[in-house]
Amino acid sequence: MRFAFTEQQTEFRDAVRQVLTKVCTPDALRAAFDTPAARTERWTTLAEMGVVGLTVPEPQGGLGLDLLDLVPLLEEAGRSALPEPLIETTALAAPLLAAFESGQAVDWLERIASGEVTAAVAPVDVISRSVGSTAGEAAVPAAVGADLYILSSASGVHAVPSTDVTVTPVPSLDPTRRLGTIDWEPTTTTLIASGEDAREALAHLADRASVATAAELLGLADRMISIAAAYAKERNQFGKPIGSFQAVKHLLAGAQVKLEFARPAVYGAAWSLGQVELAGSPSGSRGASLAKAYASDAATEAARVSLQVHGAIGYTWECDLHLYLKRAWALAESWGSSADHRSRILASLVDELHQTQS
Amino acid sequence: MNNTTDGAMDLRFTPAQEEFRAEARHWLAANSPAPGSLPSLDTPHGFEAHRAWEQTMFADRWSVVSWPEEFGGRDVGILEWLIFEEEYWRIQAPVRVSQNGVFLLAPTMFEFGTDAQKARFLPPMASGEEIWCQGWSEPDAGSDLAGIRSRAERAPDDDGWLLTGQKTWASRGAYAEWCFGLFRTDPDAQRHRGLTYFLMAMDSPGVTVRPIPQIDGEPGFAEIFFDSVFVPDSQVLGGVGQGWSVAMATAGSERGLSLRSPARYTEAVSRLVSLYAERLDRDPARAARSADAVAQAWMDAEAYRLNTYWTACRVLAGGTVGPEASANKIHWSETDLAIYRAALGLLGPEAELTGGGGVAGNPWLDGFLFALAGPIYAGTNEIQRNVVAERLLGLPRA
């Protein structure tokens, strides 16, 4: 057993952190809130570093790596609240296209690796593993201004160019989510998978999205806790830093403990999804659900306590904290809430129990 | 050992580790008493029954697998120890009556003990012949352990120490043969200074033990009174006046990896899921109300398992466990509580039933009472949160 990242993986993570610290500052986030865009200079920079094409096969100009390699980078994206769609494009769309070797998939992969296109992926309900939810068609993240849309219909999974869709923006608390509803007609030219292939692809998609989103939530939680810890050290009341009071310490410590235990859950799940015998298995899916539920809870707890530690200043538009809070709240409910995932885990455990008994 | 310490992430065990697992499983299946068949280890009869089980394990070198062979172990690494624990809890083998010695004192003795001390104390500890209790807390020194007042003065013949004072909440104290603990050797030194780590025979003249019935009615811990108890110099562990730093190594073990293997929780949640499935058939409405708590308990145990292996691999790669041990202690103690609270919720009106044979007659209730102690001992969770805030997040001390 070697449950750790390689030196190469941590070095790549450090390099991405260094770049994002410069190009994804709170000021840059504010600009993105004002004018959300799918492709930016930042995206080009990340493409040049190989981040965007990380999961694109080498023949198509990518690095040919997998979700496990991407997870530390997604954590960095979360830490900086990167507004661009790394989850949708690199964690979801590229591996899905790479699994189906059609001519158009190859073309899309090349354009993803070069940083020319960003993707939007219609959410799959993690419980039913079908498109949308029982509450109705969910708005699609990263939809406004995307170049490629991964959509599903009764006929299968489609890779649809922006020319074939009409996107109606849906306002979000976090404008960089670029939510939209999508009007489109499935055609045979856009179809990349059908039948059992499509069902399997959607099941994998739900698990991969859960883990990728969980990774971003880890970074967000870490960032919110460190912003609040820094503030608790410098803000004085009653003649001393508020961080010296136990009531404040215990809030932040509680969030930190949740985060510490969410990390290995996410890493373990990412590893499992890369194993042929585990990906899509009940145990692999439970791992993905554990990762998402734990990371969501860690991030929402970090959001709540970091705001509380700031007091009134944290409740202002001026304080940078809200830029991270809003992303955390959005991602926590995206690709299954922690309650959804708990429910999925329990159903799976009971199924397994009945199978071993019969 | 076949641990890969470089290369890509891989959560699978090596074939050698799987072989070790199979051997442990086979031996435990052949030798372990049936689950729940031994009387409570907090009764005189139960204590001896648990000691006999330790002796059975020791005879085939399963009592202390991670120790060097010369002391009765198998010299295996931390991952193998975790594998052994998985098998131990899977079969629901008895609670370890020797755990204070094996898991808390032994790591300290390996680090600070003289060769003579190791040769004298470790083998009978491994065999269960000598059971240890710990003498940390005092009536006025609980979470504030540095407030210890029990003192040690040089003996008249200058060949040892005379110990005087009172220790309390000593687990296994009612029946143990030996006790380890801290005493103040320099009356002028304040707080963490001037403390010394002693090893005391409980049958020494001047030792008085008063068992304290715990919340379940059994004498699980005791008060220990010391009245000029002679302890030879050979029973000082680490240097005179070094007691605090020596003891903190043990406290780290108690909070961190070695005492709490994840297997006890993963095993308990698997029984919890079975209970849920059974209740789902009998009383679906009540089961549904507990579903979220059951799933959360399963997740907490699984997250603990993954975190333990993550930490173990970090240690194998040369890392150390510092303040993370405090985060760990908070998590396992709250996990334990979450598991049993979920179970009691599923049981509903049956939760309080003991069946007339004491708390042990209802394993879920027994487990719940046991779990309630977790956030208190080994440093309360409030103290651990201070450690996390100050040492992991850099917040200022009060």
SS (H, E, C) chain B: CCCCCCCCCECCCCHHHHHHHHHHHHHHHHHCCCCCCCCCCCCHHHHHHHHHHHHHHHHCCCCCCCCCHHHCCCCCCHHHHHHHHHHHHHCCCCCCCCHHHHHHHHHHHHHHCCHHHHHHHHHHHHHCCCCEEEECCECCECCCHHHCCCEEEECCCCCEEEEEEEEEEEECCCCCCEEEEEEECCCCCCCCCCEEEEEEECCCCCEEEEEECCCCCCCCEEEEEEEEEEEEHHHEECCCCEHHHHHHHHHHHHHCCCCCCCHHHHHHHHHHHHHHHHHHHHCHHHHHHHHHHHHHHHHHHHHHHHHHHHHHHHHHCCCCCCCHHHHHHHHHHHHHHHHHHHHHHHHHHHCCCCCCCCHHHCHHHHHHHHHHHCCCCCCCHHHHHHHHHHHHCCCCCC
Task: Answer whether B122's CB lies under 8 Å from B67's CB.
Answer: yes
Query: Which of A4, A243, A264 lies closest to B396 in CB terms?
Result: A243
3-class DSSP state of A315: helix
CB contact under 8 A, A1 and B4: yes
Q: How far apart are CA B117 and CA B200, in angstroms?
A: 13
CB contact under 8 A, B273 and A294: no
Name the closest residue on chain A to residue B17, using Cα atoms: A1
CB contact under 8 A, B395 and A252: yes
| Mutation for B interface: A2, A65, A126, A294, most B CBs within 10 A | A2
CB contact under 8 A, B310 and A339: no
Query: Average pLDDT in the B192-210 region?
Result: 97
Residue B1: pLDDT band (50, 70, 90) is very low
Name the closest residue on chain B to residue A265, using Cα atoms: B303
B-chain residues near A226 (CB < 8 A): 393
pLDDT given at position B217: 87
3-class DSSP state of A35: coil
CA–CA min distance B383, chain A (Å): 9
CB contact under 8 A, A257 and B5: no
Query: Which of A2, A263, A349 lies closest to B273 in CB terms?
Result: A349
Provide the CA A206 distance to its chain's centre, in angstroms.
11
Exposure pattern of B280-297 as b/e (b: 16+ CB <10 Å)? beeeeeebeebbbbbbbb
What distances in angstroms separate CA A135 from CA A125, A132, A156, one per listed residue?
A: 10, 8, 21
User: CA Rg, chain A, in Å?
Assistant: 20
Name the closest residue on chain B to residue A357, using Cα atoms: B274
In this model, does residue A59 exceed pLDDT 70? yes
In this model, does residue A97 exceed pLDDT 70? yes
Query: Which of A233, A241, A353 lies closest to B274 in CB terms?
Result: A353
CA–CA min distance A11, chain B (Å): 14
Among residues B218, B254, B267, B324, which one is catalytic? Answer: B254
Name the β-bridge partners of A153: A156
Is B27 near chain A, with CB under 8 Å? no
CB contact under 8 A, B276 and A6: no
Run of H or E residues at A213: helix A195-234
| Mutation for A interface: B12, B21, B299, most A CBs within 10 A | B299
pLDDT given at position B260: 80
Task: Answer whether A56's CB lies under 8 Å from A135's CB.
Answer: no
B-chain residues near A354 (CB < 8 A): 277
B-chain residues near A254 (CB < 8 A): 385
Residue B259: pLDDT band (50, 70, 90) is low
List all residues 6 or more positions away from A82 whose beta carbon is below 8 Å from its beta carbon.
A20, A24, A42, A76
Average pLDDT of chain A, as a whole number:
94
pLDDT given at position B15: 97
User: For chain A, where are the E strands, in sequence order?
Assistant: 119-121, 148-153, 156-161, 165-169, 180-184, 191-193, 236-237, 240-241
Query: Average pLDDT in the A131-144 region?
Result: 69
Q: How many C-beta atoms surround the C-beta of residue A239 within 10 A?
A: 5
Residue type, A132: G
CA–CA min distance A357, chain B (Å): 11
pLDDT given at position B252: 64
- Cβ burial of B378 (10 Å; 0-12, 13-18, 19+) is buried
pLDDT given at position B321: 85
Q: Please give the DSSP secondary-structure letter assigned to residue A3.
A: -
- Cβ burial of B107 (10 Å; 0-12, 13-18, 19+) is buried
Structure tokens at A139: 């708005």
Q: How far apart are CA A11 and CA A17, in angstroms?
A: 10
Percent share of chain B, pLDDT over 90: 82
What is the tens place of the pLDDT at every residue in B138-171? 999 988 888 999 999 999 999 999 999 999 999 9
Average pLDDT of chain B, as a whole number:
93
CA–CA min distance A354, chain B (Å): 9
Closest CA to B148 of B99, B102, B184: B184
Is B317 near chain A, with CB under 8 Å? yes
Is B273 near chain A, with CB under 8 Å? yes
> What is the secondary structure of A239-303 as a DSSP string?
TEEGGGSHHHHHHHHHHHHHHHHHHHHHHHHHHHHTSTTTTTSHHHHHHHHHHHHHHHHHHHHHH
Closest CA to A270 of A222, A218, A225: A218
Tell me whether residue B334 is one of the annotated catalytic residues: no
A276 or B183: which leads in pLDDT: B183
CB contact under 8 A, B386 and A263: no
Q: How many C-beta atoms surround the C-beta of residue A99 within 10 A?
A: 15
Name the closest residue on chain B to residue A257, using Cα atoms: B327
3-class DSSP state of A12: helix
CB contact under 8 A, A257 and B327: yes
CB pairs < 8 Å spanning A and B? 161
Name the β-bridge partners of A157: A152, A193
Residue A133: pLDDT band (50, 70, 90) is very low
Closest CA to A246 of B381, B253, B39: B381
Which sequence spans correspond to the domains of chain B?
15-97, 132-247, 256-392
Name the β-bridge partners of B242: B195
Task: Answer whether B180's CB lies under 8 Å from B134's CB.
Answer: yes
Closest CA to A278 of A198, A211, A346, A337: A211
What is the tens place of the pLDDT at every residue in B14-35? 999 999 999 999 999 999 999 9
Domains and CATH numbers, chain A: 197-357 (1.20.140.10)
Query: Which of A1, A246, A260 lies closest to B10 in CB terms?
Result: A1
Q: Which of residues 202-221 of B touch A (CB under 8 A)?
A: none
Task: Answer whether A73's CB lies under 8 Å from A13's CB.
Answer: yes
Query: Which of B10, B17, B295 lies closest to A342 in CB terms?
Result: B295
CB contact under 8 A, B394 and A233: yes
Superfamily of domain B132-247 in the CATH hierarchy: Butyryl-CoA Dehydrogenase, subunit A, domain 2 (2.40.110.10)
Residue B2: pLDDT band (50, 70, 90) is very low
Superfamily of domain B256-392 in the CATH hierarchy: Butyryl-CoA Dehydrogenase, subunit A, domain 3 (1.20.140.10)
Task: Answer whether A325's CB lies under 8 Å from A224's CB.
Answer: yes
pLDDT given at position A127: 73
pLDDT given at position A134: 41
In this model, does residue B251 exceed pLDDT 70? no
Name the closest residue on chain A to residue B276, using Cα atoms: A350
Q: Please give the DSSP secondary-structure letter assigned to residue A166.
A: E
Task: Answer whether A204's CB lies under 8 Å from A279's CB.
Answer: yes
List all residues 6 or more positions away from A112 whose beta carbon is below 8 Å from its beta carbon.
A52, A53, A56, A62, A89, A90, A93, A94, A97, A119, A148
pLDDT given at position B361: 87
A-chain residues near B389 (CB < 8 A): 243, 249-250, 252-253, 256
CA–CA min distance A193, chain B (Å): 31
For helices B284-316 and A246-273, give the axis angle rounded to 10 degrees.
90
In this model, does residue A220 exceed pLDDT 70? yes
What distances in angstroms separate CA B284 from CA A69, B78, B274, B280, B289, one per listed residue?
A: 43, 42, 14, 4, 9
What is the tens place of the pLDDT at every residue in A302-347? 999 999 999 999 999 999 999 999 999 999 999 999 999 999 999 9
Q: How far apart are CA A26 and CA A269, in angstroms?
A: 31
Query: Which of B9, B273, B397 lies closest to A3 in CB terms?
Result: B9
Task: Answer whether A164's CB lies under 8 Å from A190's CB.
Answer: yes
What is the tens place of the pLDDT at every residue in B41-71? 988 999 999 999 999 999 999 999 999 999 9
Opening angle at CA A154, ends A149 and A157, nearest 5: 35
Query: Which of A6, A233, A256 lies closest to B396 in CB terms?
Result: A233
Residue B254: pLDDT band (50, 70, 90) is low
B-chain residues near A1 (CB < 8 A): 3-4, 10-14, 17, 79, 309, 313
Query: Average pLDDT in the A118-139 region?
Result: 71
Q: How far apart are CA A53 and CA A65, in angstroms?
A: 9
3-class DSSP state of A161: strand
In this model, does residue B304 exceed pLDDT 90? yes
What is the tens place of the pLDDT at every residue in B317-374? 988 888 899 999 999 999 999 999 999 999 999 999 998 878 888 999 999 999 999 9
What is the tens place of the pLDDT at every residue in A147-187? 999 999 888 999 999 999 999 999 999 999 999 999 999 99
pLDDT given at position A125: 79
A-chain residues near B345 (CB < 8 A): none
Percent share of chain B, pLDDT over 70: 96
Q: Per mean pLDDT, which range of A126-135, A161-170, A238-247 is the poorest? A: A126-135
CA–CA min distance B40, chain A (Å): 31
A177 or A357: which leads in pLDDT: A177
Query: Which of A229, A264, A346 lies closest to B310 in CB terms?
Result: A264
CA–CA min distance B111, chain A (Å): 26
CB contact under 8 A, A257 and B277: no
Query: Which of B9, B13, B386 lies closest to A246 in CB terms?
Result: B386
Task: Answer whether B373's CB lies under 8 Å from B336's CB.
Answer: no
Closest CA to A146 of A158, A169, A162, A160: A162
Is B30 near chain A, with CB under 8 Å? no
| Mutation for B interface: A258, A260, A277, A340, most B CBs within 10 A | A260
